[in-house]
A and B are shown apart, each in its own frame.
Chain A
Amino acid sequence: TTWHGFTRFLDAGKGSQVSGMSELKEYFNRFGYLPIPDENNFTDIFDKQFESAVIAYQTNLGLPVTGLLDSDTISMIVSPRCGVSDTKTHGTTFQATKH
């Protein structure tokens, strides 16, 4: 849970393979960004589904949206937080409708 423990992920993006990324995927699953894994996913590979999860996480938390495990994103991951899922929600901000 410290920044130091996550430096190996720094700037990892789609296609990267980093030991321990499967645990990071569990974190994203815990807060609603990844579906419950089947036996083949939650590997250490930064796949397309994980990229979508990272983008959704960055968007929801008001971070720069890069799709990478950049320093802002890792800082947020190691920050203490509320245990309520971020994504089992609807109606964020105001919806614009064309009339």
Chain B
Amino acid sequence: FSYFYGKPRWGRQAPVMLTYAFSQNNMIDYISLNDIKKVFKRAFSRWAQVIPVSFKEIEDYPSADIRIGFYYRDHGDGQPFDGVLGVLAHAFSPENGRFHLDASETWALDFETVKSRVAVDLESVATHEIGHVLGLAHSSVKEAVMYPSLSPRSKKVDLKIDDVNGVQALYGSNPNFTFSSLLASENSFNKGS
């Protein structure tokens, strides 16, 4: 794992609660907002299970700590998207909160129903970008959620030990979290593979 320069983190008093909201004007229309919200709720909860930080969705986009939207090409932040594949998304380090996904991608919740060869798993990318929002940079561990690349039609949503070690060094551990639960999850993943 690694961090951004200066090791920025959300410097709130415990218990830390971060709000998130979706842009009303910059969304995709082929996945229902309800389904998108469910995916993000699951992605946020994975991080919340390992650190003493909770996440709450709110409606008021401008006042949210984390602001999520889908954007095409040059969208004004100096980091233009590049069309299908290439760059999928980006998010900014704490305490900026901007979380942008490339609207040109074929975002998918389920590869059984979406057959496109260039479909990208929304939940995997959401989980990765939340890591950036929290202060993690890219990892060189290929299995980690914070590894920078993700193949089309692949899924990587479960945090690995590298991800957990990194984020817990910033925020401490969730008192309810045990490494054995993570290992159990990794073992079941390996057997599944």
A79 to B149, CA, bound (A): 6
A89 touching B148 in the complex, CB below 8 Å, given contacts A80-B86, A80-B120, A81-B87: no
In contact, A81 and B3 (Cβ under 8 angstroms):
no
Q: Does A84 contact B (CB under 8 A)?
A: yes
> How many A-B contacts if CB must be within 8 Å?
82
Q: Given the interface contacts A61-B140, A93-B1, does A82 sit within 8 Å of B90 by beta carbon?
A: yes
A88 at the interface (CB under 8 A from B): yes
B interface residue count range (under 10 / 10 to 19 / 20 to 34 / 35 or more) = 20 to 34
Interface string of A55-75 (1 = CB under 8 A from B): 000011110000000000000
The complex places the Cα of A99 from the Cα of B27 at a distance, in Å, of: 54
The contact string, 1 if C-beta is below 8 Å from chain A, for chain B 124-157, is 0100110010000110111000011111100000
A61-B148, A76-B149, A79-B151 known; A84-B86 Cβ under 8 A:
no
Interface size class of A (residues with CB under 8 A): 10 to 19
Residues of A within 8 A of B (CB): 1, 59-62, 76, 79-84, 86, 88-93
A-B contact pairs, 29 of them (CB 8 A): A1-B85, A59-B140, A62-B140, A62-B141, A62-B147, A79-B151, A80-B87, A80-B120, A80-B151, A80-B152, A81-B88, A81-B150, A82-B88, A83-B89, A84-B90, A84-B91, A84-B132, A84-B148, A88-B4, A88-B137, A89-B2, A89-B137, A89-B138, A90-B3, A91-B2, A91-B7, A92-B1, A93-B1, A93-B140
Apart from A82-B128, A83-B89, A93-B2: 6 A-B pairs, beta carbons within 8 A: A60-B138, A81-B86, A82-B148, A86-B138, A91-B7, A93-B140
